[in-house]
């Protein structure tokens, strides 16, 4: 079925629960052992990507490339804080969007440290950062 697109349509591409082992912690001792994090990425398009018409990967955001970029950033060095790691991932993805000429895409990065060394915290600790 072919639907006519109007200006009222919205489109979002999400990468959900990308799990990575990273060296993350405020102390050197905490950074020594890799810890599991979960990353959620949301790309909210101001205008739908051309791929909805062309069925061509070149006309949208490649989520495989995005996840590889996230891996490279998160795993290349130790980080002390989830805030710094989150913004480092955001900055890398933002640069990717600019290179794809998609600076109009609202990008949101949510990083969750799944097992923080904090008594009583069972659902992890998250930090999110978003913008154009």
pLDDT in tens, 2-53: 455 555 678 999 999 999 999 999 999 888 999 999 999 999 999 899 999 9
* Per-residue buried b or exposed e for 98-120, using 16+ beta carbons within 10 Å of the residue's own CB: eebebeebebbbbbbbeebeeee
At the second CATH level, the architecture of 11-122 is: 2-Layer Sandwich (3.30)
* DSSP, res 59: G
pLDDT of residue 75: 95
* Mean pLDDT over each residue of the chain, to the nearest integer: 92
Banded model confidence at residue 1, pLDDT cuts 50, 70, 90: very low
The predicted model scores a pTM of 0.90
pLDDT > 60? residue 95:
yes
């Amino acid at each position: 079925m072919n639907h006519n697109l109007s200006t009222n349509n919205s489109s979002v591409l999400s990468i959900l629960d990308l799990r990575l082992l990273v060296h993350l912690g405020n102390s050197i001792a905490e950074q020594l052992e890799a810890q599991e994090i979960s990353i959620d990425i949301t790309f909210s398009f101001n205008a739908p990507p051309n791929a909805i018409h062309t069925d061509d990967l070149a006309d949208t955001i490649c989520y495989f490339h995005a996840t590889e970029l996230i891996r490279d950033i998160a795993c290349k060095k130790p980080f002390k804080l989830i805030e710094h790691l989150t913004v480092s991932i955001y900055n890398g993805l933002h640069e990717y969007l600019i290179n794809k000429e998609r600076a109009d895409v609202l990008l949101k990065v949510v990083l969750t440290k799944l097992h923080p060394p904090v008594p009583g915290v069972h659902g992890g600790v998250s930090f999110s950062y978003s913008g154009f």
